[in-house]
Amino acid sequence: QVQLVESGGGLVQAGDSLRISCTTGRILSSWSVGWFRQAPGKEREFVATIRWSSPSTYYADSMKVRFTISKDRAKSTVYLQMNSLRPEDTAVYYCAAGPQFSGKASDYKYWGQGTQVTVSS
């Protein structure tokens, strides 16, 4: 059973940076780990994904300038570095793991519980 645990969320001010983490436990080397976010009253939105066994990354167009996804396989952890945060980045951020290198939430099989990121103006 794959268990994903997010951490590192919190309250920051506009313009700040924040790095959130997702510990994955043991996942298949062919899988990918992605970050999604969901703001109140909005649908879940793709942020970025990374292949577990290669450096390949894929971002939503609106996220690629300020957000960076990375991983540390030795620590079984995927990170999302977020810079120049804006109030509209306020959301619950989820990590997910699955066999597809994809921006579609339905392609991910396992999900974490989410971590809240709040950006004040």
Residue-wise pLDDT tens digits, 66-114: 999 999 999 999 999 999 999 999 999 999 999 999 999 999 999 999 9
CB 96 within 8 A of CB 2: no
Residue-wise pLDDT tens digits, 34-72: 999 999 999 999 999 999 999 999 999 999 999 999 999
Tokens of 37: 């976010």
What local confidence, expressed as pLDDT, does residue 26 receive? Answer: 87
Tell me the torsion sign for CA atoms 57, 45, 20, 66.
positive
Q: What is the 3-state secondary structure (H, E, C) of 37-92?
A: EECCCCCCEEEEEEECCCCCEEECCCCCCCEEEEEEHHHCEEEEEECCCCHHHCEE
Residue-wise pLDDT tens digits, 10-40: 999 999 999 999 999 888 999 999 999 999 9
